[in-house]
Amino acid sequence: MSVHWVVVYRAANSLEAHCLKGLLESDNISVKLTGENLSSAAGELPANVVEVGLWVDASDVAQATVILQHYEQQQLGEEWQCRHCNEINEAQFEVCWQCGCDPSESE
């Protein structure tokens, strides 16, 4: 059984890459990052200079794409208001940063 790696995303920096890697791995998708070695080899380059490619197995591409699209929508999404404490949260927060409540939970 051979693994056929496909690049599914190019992160702007290694911080984003690791965030997405964790996101995919939490869904049991193996992720390989490329580009990182360049920045660590250069040593003094800021982490945000080098694009980092996210690679997944060909069989995981469809699933990974859905997760990444969801992630991007959250980045571009709208603010939401917490119904417990009325705090306005930015779209990328999955739970209220103020009180920690999960907006998708039904009461």
Binding region for Zn ion (CB under 5 A): 82, 84-85, 87, 96, 98-99, 101
Cβ-proximal residues to 73 (8 Å cutoff; 6+ apart), any chain: none
Biggest alpha carbon distance in the chain? 52
Which of 73, 81 has the CB closer to Zn ion? 81
CA distance 94 to 82: 11
Q: Which is nearer to Zn ion, 57 or 87 (CB)?
A: 87
Percent helix / strand / coil, the chain, rounded to 5: 35, 20, 45
Of the pair 44, 107, the CB lying nearest Zn ion is at 107
Tell me how far, at minimum, the Cβ of 80 lies from Zn ion, in Å. Answer: 10
Q: Please state the closest distance from residue 91 (CB atom) to Zn ion, in A.
A: 15
